[in-house]
Amino acid sequence: MSKKTEKLAKLRDQARQIRRYIVSMVGEAGSGHPGGSLSATDIVTALYFDVMRIDPQNPGWPDRDRFVLSKGHAAPVLYAALAERGFFPVEKLRTLRQLGSPLQGHPDMRKVPGVEMSTGSLGQGLSAANGMALAGKLDDRDYRVFVLLGDGEIEEGQVWEAAMAAAHYKLDNVTAFLDHNGLQIDGPTDVVMSAEPLADKWRAFGWEVQEIDGHDMEQILSALARARETRGKPSIIIARTVKGKGVSFMENEVNWHGTAPKPEQVEKALAEL
């Protein structure tokens, strides 16, 4: 195996492990958002296990890269990645959503090492990412800021205020992912509130736009490499994804947006993963 093939295989394995944690922890919690966590898993895996400059032993390192989970309900994928990466023990994952647990239903930056911004109320993460990016430029630090947006989330007006500002301030240290799984709580995004044409909209707002398959690890990595080379403007990677990806009975099923699997469903899902 070439080095590259080996790396890709390792990342795919890692993604599978994270999916297993997502299904288990949401099942254990008895509530949570598996669908949008599973659709974002490959992206989050690529960031935390290949791309981002981070040190789990030193989560406050000023030069670290930052990741803002703007679609905060996908907390399980972030928690699983942070635990697997060594920010806290994986055993903690079982406490998701329980009273007294640091693993709140939506991420709390004051409770969990590695969580860069408290999110949950949609549409706010890109603004925060912009602020971190502005601070980085001001302090002459070369860290990068990554942000994950949902395709339903971008119906929030603040996202477009922030999109305008990121281009205005030429924040080429910002890279956004759009987790384009096509589903939101009330149904398909193009039925509930169409934001199409997506790529044209972001381009018109002054962004460098790439469109990829959000489950193809090679495409994710090469898009991130190209985003890194982009100068003078922010980058967005529109990632076509499948809600519930990896668990056959969850895939493209809107009902798995915010429903926890029952124990027998967890078993079935783990057998597939």
Partner 1 sequence: MTKKIATREAYGAALVELGQKNPAVVVLDADLSKSTKTYDFSQKFSNRFFNIGIAEQNMMGTAAGLAAAGKIAFTSTFAVFATGRVYDQIRNSIAYPRLNVKIGATHAGLTVGEDGASHQSVEDIALMRCLPNMTVLVPADSVEARAAVLAAADIDGPVYIRLGRSEVPVLHDEANFNFVPGKAITLREGKDAAIIACGIMVSAALEAAEQLANQGVSVQVLDMHTIKPLDVEAVVEAARATGAVVTAEEHSIYGGLGGAVAEALVENYPVPMRRVGVRDTFGESGKPQELLEKYGLTASDLVRVVYEVLKRKGK
Q: For residue 98, is it left (φ>0), alpha (ψ between -120 and 50) or beta? A: beta
Least separation in angstroms between CB 38 and partner 1:
25
Q: For residue 66, is it left (φ>0), alpha (ψ between -120 and 50) or beta? A: beta
Least separation in angstroms between CB 123 and partner 1:
8
List the x/- string, 26-65, binding to partner 1 by CB under 8 A. ------------------------------------x---
- Given the structure tokens 């000023």, which residue do they identify? 62
Nearest to 10 by CA among 103, 61, 1: 1
Q: Residue 4 and residue 257: Cα distance in Å, rounded? A: 34
List the x/- string, 60-89, binding to partner 1 by CB under 8 A. --x---x-x---------------------
208-213 and 235-240 strand pairing: parallel
Q: Residue 186 and residue 137: Cα distance in Å, rounded? A: 40
Question: Should residue 109 be labelled a site residue for partner 1 when binding is judged by CB under 8 A?
Answer: yes
Nearer to partner 1, 158 or 230 (CB): 158
Question: Should residue 236 be labelled a site residue for partner 1 when binding is judged by CB under 8 A?
Answer: no
Question: Should residue 132 be labelled a site residue for partner 1 when binding is judged by CB under 8 A?
Answer: yes
Q: Which residues bind partner 1 (CB under 8 A)?
A: 62, 66, 68, 108-110, 116-121, 123-136, 138-139, 157-158, 161-162, 164-165, 168-169
